[in-house]
Amino acid sequence: MANGSLAKFLYDQEKPTLDWATRFRIIKGVASGLLYLHEDWEQVVIHRDIKASNVLLDHELNGRLGDFGLARLYDHGTDPHTTHIVGTMGYLAPELVRTGKATTITDVFAFGIFLLEVACGRRPVDSIASGEELILLD
């Protein structure tokens, strides 16, 4: 994609700050894509790694969900049989950590964290100089 990942625009000081209308348009694009993957495609696609670095921006800064390396497919109306916990720390739903089972609901949880990330311009978990972690939700 022409403008690379959203993370570059959120965290690279050399990139211009995104205005609210652009951030909202990016969020709507990702939400639309996620709805399509969960409800409208011939199979259910669980992405399992929704975050700013996996959102790609075209030449007009429209957001598209990318990096399907961890994604899983299953038929509508069936139970997803995922058993491995994969994804990125800070975006994992508590029930995913407890059960090891990824679902569309765990994707929606990650999308909510992504919303906070875009709105605040901060990573959900960020290491600070002392070796401690700063957690966005705290």
| Known catalytic residue at 138 | no
Q: Are 99 and 105 in contact (CB under 8 A)?
A: no
Q: Which of 12, 19, 40, 49 is catalytic?
A: 49
**What residues are labeled active site?**
49
